[in-house]
Structure 1
Amino acid sequence: MKNLETFFSFTGNNQTDRDTTAMTFPPRPRLRPLLLAAGLCLPAGMAPAEPQHGIAMYGEPALSADFTALPYANPDATTGGRIVTAEVGSFDSLNPYVLKGSVPWQLRFLIGESLMVRSLDEPFTEYAQLAQSVETGPNREWVEYVLNPEARFSDGTPVTAEDVIWSFETLGTQGNGRYRGFWEKVEKIEETAPGTVRLTFNTADRELVMLAGLRPILKKAQWDGVDFAQSGLDMVPITTGPYVIDDFEAGRFVSLKRNPDYWGADLPTENGLHNLDEVRIEFFADETAAFEAFKTGEVNSNREFNVARWDSQYDFPAVQSGAVVKSVLPQQLPSGMTGFVMNTRHDQFSDWRVRDAMLHVFNFEFINEAMTGSAQPRITSYWSNSPLAMDPGPATGRVAEMLAPFAADLIPGTLDGYSLPVGDGTERNRTGTRAALKQMEAAGWTVQDGVMKNAAGQPFTFNILLQSGGSENQSIVDMFVESLARIGVRATVEVTDPAQYKARTDQLDFDMTYSRLALSLSPGNEQYLYFGSAMADTPGTRNLMGVKSPAVDALIGQLLTVTAQEDFVASVKALDRVLTAGRYYIPIYQWNVSRLAHAKQLKYPDVIPVFGDSPGWQPDVWWWEE
C-alpha cells in the first residue's frame, strides 16, 4: 500500500477485467474506445466567440448543452453509507491551496470547486460548474465566465465575481506553486458585467483557457486579516464543494460529510456523483498497520499496487465470505514515471554517463521477480502505455524535425533511439555490472582497492532519501544498494518521517529519492512545473531531477501553441524522447490496472471512463447499497 498522493497527480492506470476470485461481483466494466479521447481526435479549430456550456482544447465537447449526466455516472445511485480509506503518514494542515504544511491530498479534490469541471472521459474538455457559461476570444486570447447565480459556499453565502477575482490573484501570488505559472500569463482579470469575469492573457497559449476554468474558488471574506500563505489545522478553507470537513484529529483521521445543502446537487455534472454520506481518511504509521486495519474492517476500501501481494495476501476471512470484493479495473492512461530520481544539481549525477551506469546497476529483472513475480511490466518512458509514447528506434517525421534544432546538445540516444537496459535476470547481473563499470570509467571513475574513486582518489558515494512506512520501496532499495556495492559504490539510505521528507524534497535536499510523477493524456502547462528550466531550482518544484534543457522548454512551449492534433502528438513524443534518453529516473514497474478491494456494499458504475481510477472517480461516482 503506497502513499496514494505519490500515485495520483491526476492520472491513473490501465487494463482489462475483473478478478474472478471475488465471491460477488459488481457489473463488468465496459471500456470506452480510446480516441486519445473525444477532444484530442477532433480537428482543431477556433473556439466560437459566444457563450458555451463547455469547452475543448481541440474541436467541440463530446456532450451537448442538454446533457443530463456524465457518461460514467449512475443517476440512479442511492445516497448514504461511507467509504473509509487508509493513508500511510500524517498531516499538519487542512489547507491544500498553499505550499506550507502536509495536507491530506484528497482534500483538494473533495472540498473545492472551480468555474469548470473536467470530464474523466475527455482529457481536454471541461463543462460549466460554478460558471453557467464560458466564452473565449477567436484565438483564445481571453476567456469570460458568467457565474451561476445559484452558486453558494458551504456557509450559504453566494459566490461573487469579487471572490473569483480574489481567488485568482491570491492563489497566483501566495498559493501553492502549481498556481503561479498560470498567473504570470494573465494580463488582467476584471468584472465586465455583474457576475461576469474575464481574464485576458499576455501569452499565446491555447491551454490557458482550460487552466483558468480549473482554478479553485475560495471565499474572500474568510481571509480578511489572515496570512493566506500560512497553513495549519485552525483554518479550514470555506469552499463550494459537495463535502465539508466535519471532524478530524491531527495526524490520525479526517472525516468529511456530504453537505445536505450543497448548491450544485441538481447540476448535470453532479447527477449521480457524491452519493456517500461520509468520506473518512485514516492515517497509519506504516503499510502493515494500514493493511491490518483493512482486514479487520476499520478501513473498507483499499487500493493495492503489488500484484504478488494481491494474489497471495487477499484471502483473509472477509474476502472468503464475500464481505470484501476484489475488483480489477481498466485504465487507458500513460504510465507516468515511477522510480528513483537522481538529483542532477549534485555532482554525483550531473554526468549522464553516471546516470546511465545507475540504470545498468539497477537489476530490474531480478527486483521485479522478487517483488511482483515478474507480473508487472517495466515503465519504458514517461508516456509509455499510451498513444503519446515515443516510438522505438530513430526519430522520424515531425518528431525528428522538432528535435533537429537541438541535435548538438541532445544526450546520445535521443535522436538515434534509446531503450532501458535489460539485465540477465540473475542476482549478480554481470551484464549490467560490466556496462555500468564501462560508463563510470568514461565519466572518470574507476574501482581502486575495491572502491569506486575519481582521479583525485575521492570515493563515489551518495544518499537515498526515503519516507518512513514504505516497506516496498525499502526492499527495492536494499537490493539496489547490494548491486551498487559490487561496483565499489557506497550508497547510504536515510528514512525520515513524512514532514521531514516533504521539507527535504521541497528544498531539493537529496541525492536520490523515490518519486511518482503521474502524467496524463492532456499534458500542458504543468509540464513546466515538472520539467521546465525556470522551475528547476524553485523550492517545491516537481522538477526533482533538476533538468534544464532548451529542447525540453521549447517542446513544452510547442505543445501549448500548436493547433493541429498531429503536431500536438509529435511534440509530446519528442518531449518523451528527450526526457527518457536523459536518464534522470530509474524506472520501476507500472500499474496498467487498478486493483481495489472494498466492502461489498460499495458499488461503482458499469462504465469505466478513459481516466479510469483517477481523482474524480472514487469516491465521487461510488455509492452504498445494502
Structure 2
Amino acid sequence: MPAVLAGPARADVITAHAIAMHGEPKYGPGFEHFDYVNPDAPKGGSLRLHELGGFDNFMPWLPKGTAASGVEGHLFESLLTRSLDEPFTEYGLLAEKVEYPEDRSWVTFTLRPEARFADGEPVRAEDVAWTFRQLREEGAPFYAYYYGDVEKVEALSERKVKFTFKPGDNRELVMIVGQLPVMPKHYWDDKTFADATLEPPMGSGPYRIKSFKPGKQVVYQRRDDYWGKDLPVMRGRYNFDRVIYEYYLDETVALEAFKRGDYGWRTETNSKLWATAYTGDAFDSGRLVTEEVNHSNPAGMQGFIFNTRRPLFQDPVLREAIGYAFDFEWSNRNLFYGQYKRTRSYFQNSDLAATGLPGEEELKLLEPLRDDLPPRVFTEAYQPPVSDGSGRPRENLRHAQQLLMKAGYQVRDGKLHTPDGKPVKFEFLLFRPAFERVVLPFARNLKTLGIDANVVRVDQSQYVQRLRQFNFDMLIQGWGQSSSPGNEQRGFWSSEAAERESSRNFAGVSNPAVDALVDKVIRAKTREELVIRTRALDRALQWGFYVVPNWYAPHHRFAYRSGLAHPPLPPYVPIFGALDLWWDKSAD
C-alpha cells in the first residue's frame, strides 16, 4: 500500500511502488508476479508473426514514414508498466519508486540502480527528461496532446526525475508520464532524432534487432544480458528467444502463408474469413488451432467516419440521413455470419457507455453547455437505425428522404442537391479490399437517395498519407478506448486536434461543448465521476452524427500453431493477445 510521508517540507506526499487511477493497486509492494502470468513459462523457441504492407524506418514516434512493427514493445521500456487485470493501474518498471502529492500536481520517479540500456550504460534521469522533450517537440502530434498539461520536466539527480503539471485537476498525468518510452540520450548525441531511418535504435528492453530485410522482415532476439528479467512485473513474460515479423502485401496471400506454416500466430478481424477460411488439413490435423477469447475491454467506436472539414459534411442533417442507408442487419447476416453486434456508443462494451436519458448528475454537466449541444442530447436516447434486414431498407430510406427534404435538399434528375444547389457526392477511401463488400451495398442504397458515393481503393502508404493530411471524404476508421479514458480524448475530439495534421481527430470534431466535456473527463477524481462524465461526452458525440457506427464483438479471435501456449488470459487482454505472456512448448 502507498505510504504517506508527513513533515513540513513533504506534507501529504505519497510514496509507492505502484499507482492506480482510482482506488488502490491490487498488488502490494512485495508481490512476486502478476496473477495472470505463468511464472514458470519456459524460455526459448520463436514466435513468427505477420504484418501487411512494409516499413521504411525504426522510429514509431515520428509523424512520417512507416515504422517497423515491434520496435517500441520489444526494444524500449517505460517508467511504469500496466497490469492487465485492473482497469488502470501501473507498477514500477524502470522506476523503483513513485512519489506524488494528494492533488497529483507533480510526480517524481526514482529509477532502479540496476536499469541498463543494451550497451551497459545506466538509465538516467536525464534520459527521461530528454526523451520527453524530443517526443513533445519532434514526435507525432499525439504526444503534444497527451502530454499537453506537463509544465516542465527536471532531472533532480542521476536517478530522480520530476514532472510538474500545469494548474488544474488532471489526475491521470502522473500515470501517463509513467508510460514514456525512455531512450538513451547518449545514443542520439551524434544522430538526428527526427530522421526516420533504418538504423536500429537502442533501448533498455528485453530484445534487440538481430537482423532485418527492409520492408520485408524484422527479427528480434531476446537479450541474455537483459537487466530486468527477474523483476516481479517481468516474471513469466517475454518468453520467446526470437520474435519475427514477416511482411506481406496482400491479406489473402498472408492467410494462405499462415495455413502453409510460414508464420505461427494471427488475430482475425474479418468475420467472413473466421467463418469460412480457417479450415483444411492444418486445422483437421491439429497443427493449427483457433480460439475465441472473451475480454472486458471497451470496444470503442469503429465507423464510416465523415470528414466534417469538408463543406458537404458540415450539415448534421445530411450526416444523419446517410446513416439510414447502411443496413447493418443485412450485412451482419449475409456478410458477417451473424458474429457482430451493432455499435451505438463511443465506449461500447463498458459501463462508460451512455444509455437511456441523461441522469441528474449528467444533466449538471450538460445544461451549461446546452447552446452548443444538439437538443436531442436532452430528450432522446441515441440508437442507430434498425432495418428489416432486406438489404434495401425502404422505410429507413424513406425516413432519410423526409429528413433531407425538410432541410431543403432537392432531387433533380435523380441526383440529390444541397439547399444551395450543389450535388451530393463523395468518396469512400479504402485500402483493405475486404471492406468493399460492406461499402458497395451501402453505396447502392445511397444511390437510391440520389447520392453518388464512389469507392476509391489505394495502397497502404497512400492511405496513411491521406489520413494524416485529412485528405478524404469518408473512410472506415475507429478510436480504441481504454477502461479509464483520459488525456488521449483531446487528440480524438478537441478543436485544436481538428486543425492539426496527423492527429487522431479524423472526423474534424470542433465543438466547444465537446472540448469542455473532454476536459471534465480528464479531471475526474473518482471512478464514479469518470463514468458520469464519459457518458455525457458519449452523448455529445452520438448526437453529433460524426460517424455511421459499425459493429463490434466482445471477444478476440486468435489462430496459432499448436506448439504455442498461453496462461488463462486476463480480462483486459488487448486484441493482439498479450503475446508477451505466451511461450513455445518446444522450449520445455
Residues 276 and 619 in structure 1, CA contact (< 8 A), matched pair in contact too: no
Aligned to 1:489: 451
How far apart in 2 are the matches of 1:270 and 1:229? Answer: 31
Aligned to 2:153: 189
Q: Look up the equivalent residue of 1:228 and give its one-letter code.
A: F
How far apart in 2 are the matches of 1:262 and 1:85? Answer: 23
Bigger mean CA offset, 404-413 vs 58-67: 404-413
Q: Which of 551, 555, 573 is matched with 1:612 structurally?
A: 573
Asked whether 1:260 is paired with 2:224, we answer: yes
Asked whether 1:603 is paired with 2:553, we answer: no
Aligned to 2:442: 480
Residues 556 and 575 in structure 2, CA contact (< 8 A), matched pair in contact too: no
How far apart in 2 are the matches of 1:221 and 1:477? Answer: 50
TM-score of the superposed pair, with normalisation by structure 1? 0.89
Aligned to 2:366: 403
Residues 112 and 239 in structure 1, CA contact (< 8 A), matched pair in contact too: yes
Q: Which of 198, 222, 229 is matched with 2:194 structurally?
A: 229
Residues 391 and 441 in structure 2, CA contact (< 8 A), matched pair in contact too: no
How far apart in 1 are the matches of 2:445 and 2:195? Answer: 44
Q: Which of 58, 67, 72 is matched with 2:22 structurally?
A: 58
How far apart in 1 are the matches of 2:497 and 2:419? Answer: 34
Residues 83 and 619 in structure 1, CA contact (< 8 A), matched pair in contact too: no
Aligned to 1:117: 81
How far apart in 2 are the matches of 1:237 and 1:447? Answer: 58
Instruction: Determine helix, strand or coil for the equivalent of 2:115.
Output: coil
Structure 1 residues 151 and 494: alpha-carbon distance in aligned structure 2, compared to 1, 3 A threshold: same
Residues 111 and 240 in structure 1, CA contact (< 8 A), matched pair in contact too: yes
Asked whether 1:88 is paired with 2:27, we answer: no
Q: Which of 92, 104, 108 is matched with 1:144 structurally?
A: 108
After superposing on structure 2, the runs of 4+ consecutive aligned residues of structure 1 that deviate more than 6 Å are none
How far apart in 2 are the matches of 1:405 and 1:455? Answer: 32
Q: Which of 177, 182, 189 is matched with 1:217 structurally?
A: 182
TM-score of the superposed pair, with normalisation by structure 2? 0.95
Q: What RMSD in Å do the two structures reach over aligned CA positions?
A: 1.9
Asked whether 1:428 is paired with 2:389, we answer: no
Q: Look up the equivalent residue of 2:61 and give its one-letter code.
A: Y
How far apart in 1 are the matches of 2:74 and 2:383? Answer: 39
Instruction: Determine helix, strand or coil for the equivalent of 1:164.
Output: helix
How far apart in 1 are the matches of 2:497 and 2:542? Answer: 19
Structure 2, gaps ≥5 residues long:
3-9
State the shift of 1:182 in Å.
Answer: 4.1
Residues 453 and 459 in structure 1, CA contact (< 8 A), matched pair in contact too: yes
Residues 147 and 177 in structure 2, CA contact (< 8 A), matched pair in contact too: no
Q: Look up the equivalent residue of 1:236 and give its one-letter code.
A: P
Residues 94 and 111 in structure 2, CA contact (< 8 A), matched pair in contact too: yes
How far apart in 2 are the matches of 1:355 and 1:443? Answer: 12
What do the CA deviations read for 1:411-442 (whole angstroms, capped 9, x no partner)?
Answer: 24322221111112112210121122122223
How far apart in 1 are the matches of 2:146 and 2:386? Answer: 40
State the shift of 1:484 in Å.
Answer: 1.2
Residues 283 and 289 in structure 2, CA contact (< 8 A), matched pair in contact too: yes
How far apart in 2 are the matches of 1:320 and 1:551? Answer: 56
Aligned to 1:502: 464
Percent identical across equivalent pairs?
38
Q: Which of 560, 565, 583 is matched with 1:623 structurally?
A: 583
Residues 429 and 473 in structure 2, CA contact (< 8 A), matched pair in contact too: yes
State the shift of 1:48 in Å.
Answer: 5.6
Bigger mean CA offset, 206-215 vs 177-186: 177-186
Residues 177 and 540 in structure 1, CA contact (< 8 A), matched pair in contact too: yes
Q: Look up the equivalent residue of 2:283 and give its one-letter code.
A: V
Aligned to 2:516: 554
Aligned to 1:413: 376
Residues 47 and 138 in structure 1, CA contact (< 8 A), matched pair in contact too: no
How far apart in 2 are the matches of 1:220 and 1:580? Answer: 44
Asked whether 1:295 is paired with 2:255, we answer: no
Q: Look up the equivalent residue of 1:258 and give its one-letter code.
A: R
Aligned to 2:401: 437
Aligned to 1:34: none
Correspondences of 1:59-74 after superposition (within 5 Å): 59-74=23-38
Aligned to 2:428: 464
Q: Look up the equivalent residue of 1:588 and give its one-letter code.
A: N
State the shift of 1:105 in Å.
Answer: 4.5
Correspondences of 1:362-381 after superposition (within 5 Å): 362-381=326-345
Instruction: Determine helix, strand or coil for the equivalent of 2:13.
Output: coil
How far apart in 1 are the matches of 2:467 and 2:409? Answer: 28
Structure 1 residues 115 and 486: alpha-carbon distance in aligned structure 2, compared to 1, 3 A threshold: same
Instruction: Determine helix, strand or coil for the equivalent of 1:213.
Output: helix
State the shift of 1:599 in Å.
Answer: 0.6
> Which structure would you say has the larger RCO, counting Cα contacts within 8 Å and 6 or more residues apart?
1
Aligned to 1:594: 556
What do the CA deviations read for 1:363-404 (whole angstroms, capped 9, x no partner)?
Answer: 211122221122211111111211111012x21121122111
Bigger mean CA offset, 267-276 vs 330-339: 330-339
How far apart in 2 are the matches of 1:50 and 1:367? Answer: 53
